[in-house]
Structure 1
Amino acid sequence: MPSVIEFTAPPLPHYIISGFSPLPVGGKHPSRKNIGAFDLLVVVQGCLYVEEGGHEYEITEGHALILRPDSSHYSYMGCKEETLHYWVHFQILGDWKVIEEEDYLACHGRYPEGEPGYLSLPPFEITPYNIALPQFTKLAQPQKMAETISELNEMNRNIHLASVRLRQQALFQDVIMLLSASLGADGPSPQSACAERAASYLREHYREPFSAKQLGEAINFHPVYIARCMQKVFGCSPSTYLLRLRIDQSKLLLIQTDLPVERVAEEVGFNHAAYFTASFTRFEGMAPRKYRQRFAWNKG
């Protein structure tokens, strides 16, 4: 039976660290006991096989599992295919409890019809509220979750800066909201499903020239509807989403290879190196060469 982790805020959950882990065939998630922090696993390809508290979980693409800080967990089976997953360690600084999801949903429905959906709150007082997270769930917006955690990972390069740590904590609350929104959901909304399909297509074809008409034909939605859905879910148009995606891919090439900037631009779908440099500088606040000098791994 699925479980729910319920806690009272404030304080809000605290982000510790995150990462991205590829596992080969036969690879396993580490076995641990009472690690003292929550461990969120989000699978984007393949499947992880993890046991905790007598429950065996198959975490497939688009699913998430929260491992508890007070329990033991281990992989009861190796990966049957190459598996890619994000992980996030976080802590809940206040009290929390685990209850059955069925019991939670039965007791925490919407307000009855005719009953006001608000409370009269005393002024100037901090009023606690409850937050519930599904321990194991099919994510309502898996692509957005993956991109949010990826952005958290990118910030780790500058984690020594107090301003970056503050932005990470703020961004991590988006992870919490995405998890909470998946609780009891029968599936993504039509708008989320459209936006997720468009994002998935763009990620697979980011090197190719962009065409709103071709995107619409590929996922069987009208381009105007796609743009509206992506604006609602991702906060940007399909063309801007693609531009951000190309910039993210270029950062990997700048750090991990010695390719000239002009070749990097070509590899990620830019026809003109000058436009690539201008776009990169606008998004990252520095030119591609400066980014490479600052973040490239030491070699040799």
Structure 2
Amino acid sequence: MPIIEFTAPPLPHYIISGLSHAEIGGKHPSRQNIGAFDLLVVVQGCLFLRESGHDYEIKEGHALILRPDSQHYAYAGCLEETTHYWLHFQILGDWRVIDEESYYHSQWKSVSEDRPRHLSLPPFSTTSYNVALPQFTKLAQPLKMGEIINELTQMNQNIHLASVRLKQQALFQEVIVLLSSSLGTSGPSSQTVCAERAASYLREHYRDGFSAKQLGESINFHPVYIARCMQKVYGCSPSVYLINLRIEQSKILLLQTDLPVERIAEEVGFNHAAYFTSCFTKIEGLSPRKYRQRFAWDKE
């Protein structure tokens, strides 16, 4: 399977992203030499694409990177309703496409032969390094990938703010890390499966009251094990993940509706508006009302 390898710095640069839905028989657009990489992440259904003589069936939980210098087209229509994230990015430095055998051989060679070169580097020097991305892969953490791309897409509405553009580029590097970590994996670990199931449940029931016991019963894992897995995969406990999720949902309502803060708190699962304001301020650095004033000034 082809591997896209690039030299960093510079790091890949995020351009734009979105979510697309295709009915039965629908096809991904045919393009050639578009000048940017196009990452496709399927969350439901399957896309059928051909590029450079390779046929790809991009099923749920899989990702494909379409190259900027090639032609790609759909060799078949969707057999079921299909939803996928798409993300355009650019690599401004050197990059190449190699096969897996050549990549792993070069990795072994660099370890066995090139190690002494680093001994003669001057202090505080900047050295380049190679990053490898699987062109087609089953993602180790598909839900987390979808969450990041969704957040990147939501940030586009405030792209006129330099601080948002900077945060967007920093967040996009997590996409690169997730893609790179999927290289050579045989599938998600049991801990990742547990964490993703818990996250899926919380995303579906974020408006409801939280109970570690109920979460465990719903996804058939012990609450202590769930907490351990989510800490490893997402860096936080289920309760903290839920609060952050509720805050993200509240930000959408603050920007897209005129609902009062107290009502928004209820809509996203907080029983008390004061606690919602406290959590929001701690995470975002400003209150819900000030957040609305800063980013939704044109509604007034």
Q: Same fold (TM over 0.5)?
A: yes
CA shift for structure 1 position 134:
0.2
Aligned counterpart, 2:18 = 19
Give a deviation string over 1:155-178, Cα, whole Å, max 9, x none: 323322333222222222211111
* Deviating more after overlay: 162-171 vs 204-213: 162-171
Mapped to 2, the partners of 1:227 and 1:117 lie a distance apart of 42
Aligned counterpart, 1:272 = 272
8 Å CA contact 2:40, 2:65 repeated in 1? yes
* Deviating more after overlay: 71-80 vs 289-298: 289-298
Quick one: which amino acid aligns to residue 173 of structure 1? Q
Residue correspondence of structure 1 range 75-224 to structure 2 within 5 A? 75-105=74-104, 107-108=106-107, 120-121=118-119, 122-124=121-123, 125-224=125-224
Mapped to 2, the partners of 1:61 and 1:235 lie a distance apart of 25
CA shift for structure 1 position 83:
2.6
Evaluate the alpha carbon distance shift between residue 276 and residue 27 of structure 1 in structure 2; reply closer, same or farther with a 3 A threshold.
farther
Q: Which ranges of structure 1 fall in alignment gaps of 5 or more residues?
A: none
CA shift for structure 1 position 42:
1.2
Quick one: which amino acid aligns to residue 129 of structure 1? Y
CA shift for structure 1 position 135:
0.3
Evaluate the alpha carbon distance shift between residue 111 and residue 91 of structure 1 in structure 2; reply closer, same or farther with a 3 A threshold.
closer
Matched residue SS, 1:108: helix
Mapped to 2, the partners of 1:117 and 1:216 lie a distance apart of 49
Quick one: which amino acid aligns to residue 49 of structure 2? V
8 Å CA contact 1:256, 1:297 repeated in 2? no
CA shift for structure 1 position 256:
4.2
Aligned counterpart, 1:241 = 241
Matched residue SS, 2:28: coil
Quick one: which amino acid aligns to residue 230 of structure 1? M
Evaluate the alpha carbon distance shift between residue 117 and residue 207 of structure 1 in structure 2; reply closer, same or farther with a 3 A threshold.
farther
Mapped to 1, the partners of 2:114 and 2:229 lie a distance apart of 27
Q: CA RMSD in A?
A: 2.9
CA shift for structure 1 position 63:
0.9
Q: Does 1:227 align with 2:192?
A: no
Mapped to 1, the partners of 2:180 and 2:242 lie a distance apart of 27
Mapped to 1, the partners of 2:266 and 2:81 lie a distance apart of 28
Q: Which ranges of structure 2 fall in alignment gaps of 5 or more residues?
A: none
Identity within the alignment, %: 74
CA shift for structure 1 position 246:
1.8
Quick one: which amino acid aligns to residue 89 of structure 1? H
Evaluate the alpha carbon distance shift between residue 46 and residue 249 of structure 1 in structure 2; reply closer, same or farther with a 3 A threshold.
farther
CA shift for structure 1 position 257:
4.5
Aligned counterpart, 2:2 = 3
8 Å CA contact 1:105, 1:184 repeated in 2? no
* Deviating more after overlay: 283-292 vs 66-75: 283-292
Matched residue SS, 2:85: strand
CA shift for structure 1 position 292:
4.8
TM-score, scaled to structure 2:
0.86
Evaluate the alpha carbon distance shift between residue 244 and residue 131 of structure 1 in structure 2; reply closer, same or farther with a 3 A threshold.
same
8 Å CA contact 2:158, 2:295 repeated in 1? no
Mapped to 2, the partners of 1:52 and 1:249 lie a distance apart of 37
Mapped to 1, the partners of 2:92 and 2:155 lie a distance apart of 23
CA shift for structure 1 position 16:
1.7
Mapped to 2, the partners of 1:134 and 1:271 lie a distance apart of 45
Aligned counterpart, 2:61 = 62
Matched residue SS, 2:58: strand
Quick one: which amino acid aligns to residue 185 of structure 1? T
Give a deviation string over 1:87-111, Cα, whole Å, max 9, x none: 2111111221111224424553599
TM-score, scaled to structure 1:
0.86
Mapped to 1, the partners of 2:262 and 2:109 lie a distance apart of 55
